[in-house]
Chains A and B, each alone.
Chain A
Amino acid sequence: MGDQITKDPASFISHLELDQPDKTFLDSNELIINMGPQHPATHGVLRVILKLDGEKVLGTECVIGYLHRGVEKIAEHRTYTMFNPYVDRMDYVAAVSNGLGYCEAVEKLLNVQAPPRANYIRVILTELNRLASHQLWLGTHALDIGAMTPLFYTFRDREEILKIFEKYCGARLTTHAFRIGGCLYETYDGFEQDVKKFIDFLPPKIDEYEELLTTNRIWVERTKGVGKISASDCIALGVTGPVLRASGVKWDLRKAQPYAAYSDFDFDIPIGQSGDTYDRYLVRMEEMRQSLRIIRQAVERIPEGPIMAKVPKVMKPPVGEIYHSIEAPKGELGYFIVSDGSTQPYRIRVRPPSFVNLQALDLMVRGQLVADVIAVIGTLDIVLGEVDR
């Protein structure tokens, strides 16, 4: 940590010279391939232009923005409350985390604190969402590397989480579970039983995923040493989340700057050593187990009390600005909100983890093979809705 950048910063920048000089008769080894935006393994509408020497990647350039909806511009024309559902549409596989970050940021700006029970509910749902996000990642990542079966196993188990969401707030994916100041809905009858049943149900399933992959020879060969990134490169490129932790940096915002009720719980931050795809896989698998630990503690200790703080009907935060970030499943998700004292935010800036992490793609795949590009895109765990906003 705190290492000086040893490389030339320009080496981090990918910039392909796409105009090819006239090729000679035999000199056509270099191939420019356009991967995406419609490609089964780019997880959405990501377009990666690859420059190949045979199968070896000489450089990449990402073209993004196909899913750009101007969320930040929309925010300036909505009230604080009205904007809340929009954030769910960014990282749609971890919508609860997005909502949590936004609600907490506005609460801070209003100088309101959510009541403890609300915070516990938030933690439970957010961690469930982290599990769902990691399961989705695992399934699609394994599918990219060619293992079809884990996809169906993870989707089967993710369904249980989505059922809890549906029972809690009526929506499965874009939940809009939290409101500024707390939660709108009290937990339904049997919520705690459902969650407890789920945390007993999942550990054997995680073992099952691991049984399919962790010691699978081909899986290990495909992921070990692939897409390596060192801790100092991660920090220089602003990479956060499991990718950073797999490189050996023990940093998690839930511990470093606790929010919601995370300071009450006991959990570990799994870290890897080598920063390759296999380590990132192991880190995420362990994170799933730690999430279960947090949920178990939260469910056992959930306090009684109100779930909504006193928040004015018309929110007019005082003039000022705030940056608040949380540990989303993909990394640091930050909201920078500027208030001019009116009902509408003057500016909302979202600091998306996927967007920043995707920058590391070029560094991670340069000199590797085409098949590794797929593995690395999968292991970065990007959601294009969040990259493009």
Chain B
Amino acid sequence: MQPVATTFFFYFLSGITLISGILVITRKNAVHSALALILGLLAQAGLYLMLYAPFVAGVQIILYAGGIMVLFLFVIMLVNLERAQKEEQFNKQWLVGLLAAVALGGLLMTVYLKGSTLFTEHIAQPVENSNTQQIGVMLYGNYMFAFEIASLLLLVAIIGAVVMAKKRI
């Protein structure tokens, strides 16, 4: 399939990601923030598709937008929102946060400006059709150990959550 209007879609999706990212931190209503985050994640999935990584895009939608964010919303809905809205939105670390953001932004800008000289011109050959298979081979072949470690970590997290949430087992 030939890509159509690549530049337009790139800027479109990036713009959505940025705007929704800003909305996430500026909305007072936590549910609205979560919805903006979902929009951002979906736009990101679109960016993955443009990078010829359909599997990652699919997983992004299933796991992040469909699964994790629903759990987010789930928790937010049960929380007393009126109370949350009255609370101060920016806490005492805002100065530190601002500095960190500026530093990170500076780093990104540097990379963007000097990137063409630092890194050689190289466009990865998109392998659209065997993309999924390659991820499978990588995960279960080359990086088997890391993959298993990650799953073990998740198991520990699950058990911890159950122990913390359940009053008596």
Contact = CB atoms under 8 A, between A and B. Distances in A.
Given A23-B80, A25-B83, A28-B80, 7 more contacts: A23-B83, A25-B79, A25-B80, A25-B84, A26-B80, A28-B79, A29-B78
Contacts of A28: 78-80
Contacts of B83: 23-25
Nearest to A23: B80
Interface string A78-113: 000000000000000000000000000000000000
12 contacts: A23-B80, A23-B83, A24-B80, A24-B83, A25-B80, A25-B83, A25-B84, A26-B80, A28-B78, A28-B79, A28-B80, A29-B78
Interface of B is mostly: helix
A26 B78 CA distance: 8
Contacts of B84: 25
A23 B79 CA distance: 10
A136 to B, nearest CB: 39
Interface of B: 78-80, 83-84
Nearest to A22: B83
Interface of A: 23-26, 28-29
A29 B80 CA distance: 10
Nearest to A28: B80
Nearest to A54: B78
Nearest to A25: B83
Contacts of A23: 80, 83
Nearest to A26: B79
A49 B3 CA distance: 59
A25 B78 CA distance: 10
B122 to A, nearest CB: 50
A28 B84 CA distance: 13
A26 B77 CA distance: 11
A26 B80 CA distance: 7
B87 to A, nearest CB: 8
Contacts of A26: 79-80
A24 B86 CA distance: 13
A23 B80 CA distance: 8
B81 to A, nearest CB: 10
A172 to B, nearest CB: 49
Contacts of A24: 80, 83
A24 B83 CA distance: 8
A28 B80 CA distance: 7
B51 to A, nearest CB: 40
